Structure 1
Amino acid sequence: MKNIAVFIAFCLFIAYWSLTLFFTFPENPMNVRDLKYRQYFEAHFYQNWSFFAPPATFNERLYFSYIYNDLITNTKKVRTFETLVPITQEKKKKAPFNRKQDVLDYVICGSVHEVQNKIKEVYDIIKVEEKRSQKSSSIEEKNKKVIEEIEKTESFHNLQNYAKIVAEKNGIPKNDTQYKITITNIDIPKYVNKSSQTRREEKTVISSNLHPLKTTK
């Protein structure tokens, strides 16, 4: 009986570490094809490799752009707000009594991270499907597909809900207002260039479709 228990434990040990290695290897046609299983594995057997990760090379930015008619000037107006930096600043300002800001930071920044991870996954799936079908689509078609998939995710819906909060805070009218969400990355300068005044490059990761503000839940 003891030998059977040892054998089962050994098999589970081998299976666990085999799956861990399989799903943490760099993307390849095999583990990209099994993205659903990888997501399940990461949800229940998450491995945090941040200790071994290289230092971050970019900072994230989250923009909400609102388009509406200004009733005073009777002209179309566009107002854009970056929201990640204010969240971080408010969190530092209210420390150590910053539980509300800490939760907001966790939800919004976490959603931005998840969106970026999902973008990479969708592009990987497209790449595998193209290789399998031996048909390639245009960059515009790929980007359209990525945006469609991203806008179905819970993380994107979290950002949509936050769009309503940002709008209310800044006096944006709800009626006849459209908005879009843009995520960008700004390069972090190397330590030797830390004091450089050179403008850092900001790259757009995703810019969503326009959505009506009033229907945002």
Structure 2
Amino acid sequence: MKQSFYKVMPGMAMIIFLLYWMAVFAITFPGGKAKQVIGNIAPKFNSLFGYSWRLFTPPYTFNVRLYFIVRNVHLPYKTDTVEVLQQIALQKQTAAPFNQQETITDYLVNSNVNGLIKTVWGNKNMPAEIPAPLTDSGYVAQAIAKVETDQTYQMYLATLKNYCQVVLKQHRISSVDKEIKIVIKEKAIRPFDAMQEKGFEEKERLVFETAFYKPTL
């Protein structure tokens, strides 16, 4: 009898182990509602099992988008808009595994975009509602005005302006009689629990923009 018990013990232990971790993942998975539902039924559950997702980094809630907007100085309503970061990611993917140049470009541009955002906003975020009568652009302009003389800010911005020239050449867009604006936005990512939700809106939120400037020819 004991020998039979010892034979099935490893299998039972493995089953219990797997069931335990399956329950943990179900309860703590990002966007999952199991913990909330159980907590509503049994309020003590959250105090006894209050752990949250720690095995992996919490999922991102947005993607950063970098836009170069080009307009003709004589026809300001005529513009060309180039989205940069997504294009770099696609180029990197297409050239894999021999994508060293694309990887360097990806690192260079993304690090400067992230550095620029961090320099402007520090540890703060834009509020959910911009206080009237300010617009998103006005609120961003106020934040930029506080750091625009900072050398680090100027370095990040200069790098993006230089890369803009590269992008314009790639797209065969002439810089003659043109003005350029650099815009950075955060585009909402559909959360895990809204994958099948048809009404989810992938909103873009302005976090940085320059005034139109004339590029160096």
TM range (shorter): 0.5 to 0.7
The 1-side partners of 2:146 and 2:172 are apart by: 31
Equivalent of residue 58 in structure 1, options 56, 62, 82: 62
The 3 A distance-change label for structure 1 pair 196 and 75 is same
The 2-side partners of 1:62 and 1:139 are apart by: 19
The percentage of aligned residue pairs carrying the same residue is 24
> In angstroms, what is the RMSD of aligned CA positions?
2.9
Indicate the residue corresponding to 1:14 in structure 2.
none
- C-alpha deviation, 1:158, in angstroms: 1.0
- C-alpha deviation, 1:166, in angstroms: 1.1
Gaps of 5+ in 2: 1-54, 126-137
The residue type equivalent to 1:204 in the other structure is L
The 3 A distance-change label for structure 1 pair 146 and 79 is farther
**Across the two proteins, how many residue pairs are aligned to each other?**
149
Map Cα deviations across residues 134-177 of structure 1 (whole Å, 9 max, x no partner).
xxxx9587245147347942111111001101111222222221
The 2-side partners of 1:149 and 1:183 are apart by: 20
The 3 A distance-change label for structure 1 pair 108 and 195 is farther
Q: TM-score, normalised by structure 2?
A: 0.60
Matches within 5 A, 1:86-125: 86-121=87-122
SS class of match (1:200): coil
Gaps of 5+ in 1: 1-50, 125-137
Equivalent of residue 204 in structure 2, options 202, 205, 214: 202
The 2-side partners of 1:184 and 1:201 are apart by: 10
Q: TM-score, normalised by structure 1?
A: 0.60
The 2-side partners of 1:140 and 1:101 are apart by: 31
Q: 2:140 touches 2:207 (CA, 8 Å); kept in 1?
A: no
The 3 A distance-change label for structure 1 pair 60 and 175 is same
Indicate the residue corresponding to 1:43 in structure 2.
none
Q: 2:113 touches 2:156 (CA, 8 Å); kept in 1?
A: yes
The 1-side partners of 2:83 and 2:195 are apart by: 23
The 3 A distance-change label for structure 1 pair 207 and 62 is same
Matches within 5 A, 1:41-190: 54-68=58-72, 75-76=75-76, 77-121=78-122, 139=139, 142-143=142-143, 145-146=145-146, 148-149=148-149, 152-190=153-191
Q: 1:177 touches 1:212 (CA, 8 Å); kept in 2?
A: yes
Indicate the residue corresponding to 2:4 in structure 1.
none
Indicate the residue corresponding to 2:216 in structure 1.
214
Matches within 5 A, 1:2-17: none
The 2-side partners of 1:175 and 1:120 are apart by: 33
SS class of match (1:148): coil
Larger-Rg structure: 2
The 3 A distance-change label for structure 1 pair 146 and 85 is farther
The 1-side partners of 2:162 and 2:93 are apart by: 24
Range with greater deviation from structure 2 (111-120 or 165-174): 165-174
The residue type equivalent to 1:180 in the other structure is K
